[in-house]
Structure 1
Amino acid sequence: MKISVKAPAKINLTLDVLHKRNDGFHEVKMIMTTVDLSDRIDLVELDIDKIMVEVSEGFVPSDERNLAYQAALKLKQRYNITKGVYIYITKNIPVAAGLAGGSSDAAATLRGLNQLWNLGLSIEELASVGREIGSDVAFCVYGGTALATGRGEIIEPIASPPPGWVILAKPPIGVSTADIYRRLQVDKVSHCDETEMIRAIETKNFQGICNNLHNVLEDVTFSLYPEVQNIKDQMKKFGADGVLMSGSGPTVFGLVSKESRLNRVYNGLRGFCHDVYAVRLINQPHS
């Protein structure tokens, strides 16, 4: 039996860091939403008690370091599953891009194995497993749009944003999330008020969403990688309605309400950045 599951990327509409916790993680508050740039996860049941992972991109690990592998292992351990699975990951989401590609692969694996192994688990139960894998996995299990708190694993679903286009642009560099957080001076950041963003989302106010984009990690990433700031500046210049770096970077996204403007922004960015995508906001959470 084979099951295929989409693993969509996420962007941060807001990202605030409140303080460093005693466990070494940072306390965050952020609003995330999914976009229709997706990896594909193919799952095939094996008669032998083994997890096998293959990835379309050779530089992505296919052993126990892979989050999809960890997702399958966690499910097997928690629910005493003796069956095995072959996992093939077709990568479309850029790696180390601030788009939660690995976390979404893990979440899609959890959702798919719930079907493949007839576990009958709820989204909440799958998210509970996801929290043991990584900070973004629980959100990726839910999908849609949500307020994330704690270290990012406490999820409160909220309304979906209005329809719109998203331009994603990633320079040819990787950014270490741990390094960005380590360099962040929490006492010097300008915190944001998520209530204004939530109000804009709930009232389907596209321009209000654009006006309240906020990411406290931008300054740190920009100081280390000025090319990321350059992409943001260019995206504004070409006419995106709202522009922000996603996560710890290096991907920058632009929100665009009109398709005519979308083409101008997309074509302008393609002139100096290879990885550019024009996608839509996904309005529905996973069932």
Structure 2
Amino acid sequence: MLVERAYAKINLTLDILGKRPDGFHDVDMVMQTVDLSDLIWLEETDGRDIVVDSTAPHIPLDHRNLAVVAAKVFQQQSGILRGLHMKIEKHIPVAAGLAGGSADAAAVLRGLNRLWRTGYSLDELAQMGASIGSDVPFCVYGGCAVATGRGENIARVQHELRAWVVLTRPPVFVSTADVYKATRPEQYARTVASPKMVHALQHCDFAGVRNAYTNALMATTFRLYPEVEALYARMTAVTGQPVYMSGSGPTLFTLFPTRSVAQRTYNALRGFMKEVYLCRFAGL
């Protein structure tokens, strides 16, 4: 048996370039992992069945779970058709714009590579992940990267900035598909923010990171889910800091250069929100 961590991600930029013939959108995003993580326990069993347990009561434990899909893809690619017992210890909020399902799938790929000593490189695992979901390749690598295409093309970014992050998840379910579908052509980017963001990260320019942030989906999510916009306004008033959204939401977050200020903000938000998380930038 072994355990693999599955790290959540936040979007530091998210620009939409247009709609693709396959129905997806071309995007340009800077993504960053944070040290909020699930734990994936993997154990080989007799037979060929994949059995899943989870501490989260409301996630599917069958083919609808990306971790199960990842295990089957790995079996098919490696030719190793052994049985597997997986336990998913959830800490990343579900359906929150933090790529929790994709992170779990990526952790399964990395973990089975270790468990069965198959020797795949991260690049090869990321290629497997591209067939599972758009965010899975990034989650295989972790750290920071610019993601393009539908999100599966990854250019890794090395930087030394160590920011603290306070995440807040409103009690709202947001449909990513609905948000993308409702996004209007005038929200498509003429220029992308990723070069400016990468420059700020690599120069450890915290103010530059704050200034470079963009999310083309925010206006659509606020329009479809006004309760998310209401929380955004309240967080801005309470923290006195810029507030951002990850992916299609509903998770909102703030960035801080020091833990002490982040901790005070965390404490303030806990006064009126149930799901608040204090974490920081992380690599794998």
Residues 221-230 or 233-242, more deviating: 233-242
Secondary structure of 2:13's aligned partner: strand
Q: 1:118 to 1:260 in 2, by over 3 A?
A: closer
Q: 1:121 to 1:105 in 2, by over 3 A?
A: same
Structure 1: which 5+ runs fail to align?
Answer: none
- Amino acid aligned to 2:24: F
Q: 1:207 to 1:240 in 2, by over 3 A?
A: farther
Residues 68-77 or 154-163, more deviating: 154-163
Residues 188-197 or 13-22, more deviating: 188-197
Contact kept? 2:14, 2:28, Cα under 8 Å: yes
Q: 1:240 to 1:19 in 2, by over 3 A?
A: same
- Amino acid aligned to 1:273: M
Task: Give the share of equivalent positions with the same residue, in percent.
Answer: 49
Distance 1:54 1:281 in 2: 29
Partner of 2:90: 91
Contact kept? 1:239, 1:261, Cα under 8 Å: no
Q: CA deviation at 1:227?
A: 2.2
Note the 1:64-79 alignment, pairs <5 A. Answer: 64-79=63-78
Distance 2:249 2:25 in 1: 17
Q: 1:11 to 1:161 in 2, by over 3 A?
A: farther
Q: 1:226 to 1:271 in 2, by over 3 A?
A: farther
Partner of 1:269: 269
Partner of 2:57: 58
Q: CA deviation at 1:207?
A: 1.1
- Amino acid aligned to 1:113: L
- Amino acid aligned to 1:81: I
Q: CA deviation at 1:91?
A: 0.6
Partner of 1:4: 3
Partner of 2:129: 130
Distance 1:129 1:96 in 2: 23
Q: How many residues align?
A: 283
Partner of 1:176: 175
Secondary structure of 1:157's aligned partner: strand
Partner of 1:279: 279
Distance 1:24 1:260 in 2: 44
- Amino acid aligned to 1:245: M
Aligned-residue CA RMSD in angstroms?
A: 1.4
Secondary structure of 1:248's aligned partner: coil
Note the 1:3-22 alignment, pairs <5 A. Answer: 3-22=2-21
Residues 121-130 or 257-266, more deviating: 257-266
Show CA shifts across 1:38-63 (max 9, x none).
Answer: 00000001121111111111210000
Residues 104-113 or 44-53, more deviating: 44-53
Contact kept? 1:207, 1:241, Cα under 8 Å: no
Q: CA deviation at 1:211?
A: 1.1
- Amino acid aligned to 1:74: V
Partner of 2:117: 118
Residues 228-237 or 27-36, more deviating: 228-237
Contact kept? 1:98, 1:250, Cα under 8 Å: yes
Distance 2:20 2:237 in 1: 39
Q: 1:190 to 1:154 in 2, by over 3 A?
A: closer
Secondary structure of 2:243's aligned partner: strand
Show CA shifts across 1:137-186 (max 9, x none).
Answer: 00000000000000000000012351121000011111110000000012
Q: CA deviation at 1:189?
A: 4.3
Return the TM-score normalized by structure 1: 0.95
Return the TM-score normalized by structure 2: 0.96
Secondary structure of 1:135's aligned partner: coil
Distance 1:193 1:170 in 2: 25
Distance 1:242 1:46 in 2: 49
